[in-house]
Structures are given as C-alpha cells and as structure tokens.
Amino acid sequence: MTFVERLEDRLLSNPRADRVRDVAALTRRSTRSKRGLFRAEGPQNVREALRLALASPAGQDPAELPVLDAVYVTGPELERHPEIAADLEVLEARRDVFVRAVSTEVLAAMTDAVTPQGMLAVCRTPRPDAERAAATADLVCVLVRVQDPGNAGTVVRAADAAGAGAVVFTAGSVDPFNPKAVRSSAGSLFHLPVLTGVDLTDFSRSAHERGLQLLAADGHACVTVDELADAALLRHVGARPGAQADVIGGTHDDAAPHSGRATVALERPTAWLFGNEAQGLSATERELADLAVAVPLHGRAESLNVGTAATVCLYSSARAQQRRTQPSISTAVARDAAGSPRHGGTDALGGAPAQDGSHAPVGTETPAGADAPAGPGGVVPGAGEPR
C-alpha cells in the first residue's frame, strides 16, 4: 500500500468535525494570537514549510521561523505533487507532523479561499527578536501601519527575493500571518524572520545603534532612489572623487532630518520604511529616518502600490550591496555612470527625474474601485492590486 493510499484510509470527511472548526478558526486574528498558530494554504506554502521542517533535526525547531504542526491534503492534490507526498512520508515517519487526508468538502470548510488549492498546513507562529534582526541583517524591510494583507504578503515575498534579512511590521499593521497575506507571500514566510507588533521608535534606536541607516519611502522627498543608486554606482567604479559621490540633495533639511549622522549610501546596511496605503508615513515617522526617498515616476501613473514601491527600493539597495562582492563592472555601465544621458533625459547624476519632476507617492494608494480625494499638493492617490 502506498503512502497516499494509507492516508486515504484515514480520510477526514466530516466538515463539522472539531478539528475542521479549529483550523477554520485560524482565519480570525484573535484565534491565531491565542493559539500561536496560523494557516498556510496551497502547494507552494506547504512545500516551503516541509523543506524548512526537513532541514531541522528531528524534534528541533528552526530559530525565528514558523514550525510545521500539521498538514491536510486531498488525495488527488497529493497525487499531483509526488515530491510533497515524499516529504510528508518522511516527516510522518519521524512523528514530527500530523498528516491527514481530507475530502474536498472538508478542505473548503477549513479555508476562507474562494477556490481552495487542495492542501494546507498549520504552523506555529514564530517569535523572532527585533534587536537580533537589526543586528544581523544588512537589509531590513519595515512596514508601518500597512493594512492590506495582500500588500503585506507581496512585500514579504519581494523582501525575500531581494535578500532582506528580516521584515518588520509595526504595531497597528495587518497580521502577516493572515491567510491572505500568507497566500500572497508564496512561501517566503518560511525563508526569513517576520516580526510583528514592533514599536517603530524602539526599532529605529536599535537599528541605528547597530549601524543600520533608515530610509523612508516618501513620494514628496527631494531625493530619489535613482539618485542614490547612481551615487552608489559612481563610488563603485571610481568615476569621480568620493567626496562628490555623496547623496545628491542630502543637504535638503526636509529630506535628511538627521544630517548629523553618517552620510547615507545605498550600499550601507539599510532598513527601509514603507507607510500606510492611504496615509503614507507621518511626519513623526519620517523624522526617525536618516533620509526620505522618492521613487521617480517616468510615465503618467499617479502612484505606485506599496508592494511595487517596496520592490523597487529593496532591489536598489540589494544591487548596491551586492556590488561590494563583484570584482569588476562593464565599461559600458561605467561610462553611463560617468554621465552619459539616459532614456527620458535623466542623466547618471540624477538630473530631472521626470518631465514634470514628479515622484511616486509611495504608500498612498487606495483600494481598487474606491474614490480617491486629492492628497497633499493635489496628488491623487492611486490604486494598485497586489500580486
């Protein structure tokens, strides 16, 4: 008898069973908090949860990452993913994980998804330490009062892809272990520490003490991420004296409230701050940063979704940081860095970021379909859907 056949012999088929109700209750934040559990749905999330569990010695929990507790799967879905079946068989033999085959009706009762994906995992919520995250990471993503779970998951995924060492959610933010956020993260929650309920003031103090600079994504900033990237590239290739490769516009009082600190450089260890979808970062929150930075808009879009803006900023930092380990750079890129004009009239020294000088109002979108009143300076917040 195969492993799948053995599982189907113990099929859970009653949608009203206590175990089914317990898993379904994890849709509620209060239940997740009380039980210290969350639900990860779909093959990609289950696959990453299994890989993490298999990478840990039997009976030992991985530090600061979710711990797999149970897996529920339909027979047909398991047959479509033999690699997942093989991993489940190993873990069941170790008696580390509860595994149960369920009917399609049971799986539908367990999840809030419109179209259940055939399997889900129940995991123990990690409790990583914020100070440790700031001390050990060169790139940290901080979400400040972000409310949409789809945005939260998208940013976690982008941070993971950019090589960030941690994602921080401040107090008042959406729970990143919300089922929709977990689905949007596509397994990235199992790759890096995700902290919740963090006080931004305390975090900024710890980050600065450990050598991280804080950059605040703000659509009204005087400095753009392109300018920071250009300055970092110039420092890398030695295209001009280092004293001239400092942050362009770094003397603007509104852009650099902490001008007494070390010069901002994109290749330095960095924590990026991204604000609430409707309001962005408050003045008090921006004051905690070393520099406010805008994402330039070169087309006619009025704003960027916070997930898209975060991807641009995180990848800009990651690219600058990665160059420190690269022995050389192409002559063509070096020539461009030295001042060759770029598409749209923007030169390598950060000339006009757009024809109208506009920057992306980072973190100021509204839900799709909602009427958006004009924001500061007449900018109408845009709308964007997470991936």
pLDDT in tens, 351-366: 334 444 455 544 444 4
180 occurs within a structural domain? yes
Mean pLDDT, rounded, for 165-185? 97
CB 266 within 8 A of CB 313: no
48 occurs within a structural domain? yes
pLDDT at site 320? 94
Widest Cα–Cα separation across the chain? 72
In angstroms, the CA 365 to CA 253 distance is 26
In angstroms, the CA 280 to CA 259 distance is 22
One domain, residues 103 and 58: yes
pLDDT at site 377? 33
pLDDT at site 18? 97
Q: Which two tokens stand for residue 317?
A: 């930092």
List C-alpha distances in Å: 273 to 12, 288, 289, 293: 45, 10, 8, 10
pLDDT tens string 98-120: 999 999 999 999 998 888 899 99
pLDDT at site 178? 97
Q: Which two tokens stand for residue 126?
A: 């990690």
- DSSP single-letter state for residue 383: B
High-pLDDT (> 90) share of the chain, %: 62
One domain, residues 22 and 39: yes
Q: Which two tokens stand for residue 368?
A: 């799709």
Give the end of a domain, one of 80, 102, 124. Answer: 124
Q: Which two tokens stand for residue 15?
A: 């949608």
144 occurs within a structural domain? yes
Res 301 pLDDT > 70: yes
High-pLDDT (> 70) share of the chain, %: 75
Read off the CATH number of the domain in which 345 is found.
3.40.1280.10
Res 250 pLDDT > 70: no
385 occurs within a structural domain? no
21 occurs within a structural domain? yes
CB 200 within 8 A of CB 214: no
One domain, residues 100 and 148: no
Res 259 pLDDT > 70: no
CB 229 within 8 A of CB 320: yes
User: At 74, is the pLDDT very low, low, confident or very high (cuts 50, 70, 90)?
Assistant: very high
One domain, residues 58 and 206: no
383 occurs within a structural domain? no
Give the residue with greater pLDDT, 304 vs 246. Answer: 304
User: At 237, is the pLDDT very low, low, confident or very high (cuts 50, 70, 90)?
Assistant: confident
User: At 338, is the pLDDT very low, low, confident or very high (cuts 50, 70, 90)?
Assistant: low
pLDDT at site 238? 74
Give the end of a domain, one of 95, 124, 153. Answer: 124
Read off the CATH number of the domain in which 59 is found.
3.30.1330.30
Average pLDDT value for the chain: 82
387 occurs within a structural domain? no
Domain span including residue 161: 130-378
pLDDT at site 252? 36
Domains in the chain, number: 2
Res 39 pLDDT > 80: yes
User: At 132, is the pLDDT very low, low, confident or very high (cuts 50, 70, 90)?
Assistant: confident
Res 137 pLDDT > 50: yes
Give the end of a domain, one of 108, 124, 140. Answer: 124
Give the residue with greater pLDDT, 183 vs 235. Answer: 183
